[in-house]
Amino acid sequence: MPGLFDRLMKDVEIRPYTGPHSETKYGEDSPTGEPIIFINEDKYQGRAKEKMAMAESLHLLKLKEPEIHKKLLDTALNDPEYMKWARRSYDIVTGKAPDPETGEYVPAAQRETRPFDKWHTVSRFDQVIGGYALAGDKDLPTMANWSRDRLPMGPALRSELEKIRQEFNNRSPSLGQPPKMGQR
């Protein structure tokens, strides 16, 4: 049976992107209706680009591996320490609290407008999964400040996320060959 990341990347197109880092689109958000990972090639090349594609593929977990995603999400939703952190993060992105690293509030035009549940399920939880798997990875500047040892969560969620990290790292030395740009 193919590994998790091979299953997530199956039939996924990778395209160049001019945005800040990368983005994954599928369904009605995708220009083709099919999963597409967009990567800024000016920032990510070689191994960093391959890692970013794998990290972005985690957005497809709920679509392609719904049982794994549901188990992770249910574990997170039942973890009081994690949920306190998620709510604190939501207060920051909605402008209700300042960013503890900068002391600044998110500018009004950039504030999150989705309700907590939608924001958490669509964006934040995927970020946490990737942040755990790639914490401190020198190839990915967006992961530089993540430390898996300091992430506020209980042992059950940490254990489930560790399974994803192990699978990522088992694939990481060779990373396989993700699809070429513009191909599936």
pLDDT in tens, 97-144: 999 989 999 999 999 999 999 999 988 999 899 899 989 888 888 788
Domain assignment present for residue 56? The answer is yes
Whether the pLDDT of residue 14 is over 90: the answer is yes
Domain assignment present for residue 84? The answer is yes
Range of the domain at 55: 4-171
Domain assignment present for residue 179? The answer is no
Domain assignment present for residue 46? The answer is yes
Cα–Cα distance list, 125 to 14, 47, 50, 112, 175 (Å): 22, 24, 21, 15, 24
Three-state DSSP class for residue 177: coil
Determine the Cα–Cα distance for residues 13 and 56; give it in Å rounded to an integer. 12
Average pLDDT of 40-49? 90
Domain assignment present for residue 181? The answer is no
User: What is the domain count for the chain?
Assistant: 1
> Which among 164, 173, 175, 170 has a CA at the least distance from the CA of 60?
164
Domain assignment present for residue 100? The answer is yes
Q: How confident is the model at residue 171 (pLDDT cuts 50, 70, 90)?
A: low
- Please indicate whether residue 66 or residue 1 has the higher confidence score (pLDDT): 66
What is the pTM for the complete model shown?
Answer: 0.82
Domain assignment present for residue 125? The answer is yes
